[in-house]
Structure 1
């Protein structure tokens, strides 16, 4: 019985995480925070580094649940949830997970460049990380067919908030 209670709490926490993270402000700022993170490393700015890490940690639950999910940023989050729920994982030699595997050395290159204060390497590495991540998210949107408009893809809406 105890695990059922834990599963219920865990399930509610996961649902809250994904529902709030599907807010386009959450997904959009999560994408844009990576260059700020790399800039903090490059500049050796401890306050910016700490603030960026804190933002990354709270970002998925910082924004409220979206009213609509039929936008690209919400779709990539819904697709990621569906992809993971189907047991596909994020790393592997199959497409599109190979893109995340390729992202590992690009991420190391970006970090090494930022630590060594190599501006061109930092910029190229950061752009490479972002391109590969967005390519992966775009691929899983296509693979899952998530539109954010069909039942089961959108977040459950309370009856009192329906605008009909």
Structure 2
């Protein structure tokens, strides 16, 4: 799973400034629109044929733009902001002492989300609305739970409480990788 997490981060081309912007709750919450928009664009081939291609491209463009579309928040203390900060810590777990139970939970949730893609793909291939809806839910719910786990990671590593004001998103001091 380690390579999957880092590969996704590299694919998105996330830099420090992008992560700060993505910590805006508007970015986090609208991020959950990305997969449904891509699915709707693919599903629309039934109605508009190959004209769905620009819609797919537009939805994928939104997926890339979304973490960069909003300004950094003034306060990084919200659940959504801390989820983003926790994900940064999790991605750099070779530099932070992320407890094994968090890594295990993240791997399980990522596996569940990946399994949710199976009915989603089936639903999109065969234009089955029930399989498509099941796949969307089975993919998005573990992702929401993953973000919640990242809030917990952030709280454990920074020794701060979720909901407390956090004007500075500075990550804790990194340890030297072993």
TM-score (norm 1): 0.75
Partner of 2:19: 18
* Superposition CA RMSD, Å: 2.4
Give the corresponding residue for 2:84. Answer: 77
Name the counterpart of 1:128. 138
Pick aligned residue for 2:122 from 112, 123, 126: 112
TM-score, normalised to structure 2, is 0.69
* Between 103-112 and 118-127, the greater mean CA deviation after superposition: 103-112
Please say if residues 18 and 68 of structure 2, whose CA atoms lie closer than 8 Å, have aligned partners that are also in contact. yes
The Cα offsets for residues 62-86 of structure 1, whole Å up to 9 and x where unpaired, read as 2111112222221211111111122
Distance 1:93 1:84, change over 3 A: closer
Q: Equivalent residues in 2 for 1:120-159 (5 A)?
A: 120-145=130-155, 147=162, 149=164, 154-155=168-169
3-state DSSP of counterpart to 1:94: helix
CA contact (8 A) 2:36 2:136 kept: yes
- Are residue 68 (structure 1) and residue 75 (structure 2) matched? yes
Structure 2 residue 64 is the aligned partner of structure 1 residue 57: yes
Q: Which residue of 1 aligns with 2:32?
A: 31
Q: 2:104 aligns with which of 91, 94, 106?
A: 94
User: How far 1:126 sits from its partner (Å)?
Assistant: 0.2
List alignment gaps of at least 5 residues for structure 1: 1-12, 157-164
Q: In structure 1, the residue corresponding to 2:39 is in which secondary structure?
A: helix
Aligned residue number for residue 6 of structure 2 = none
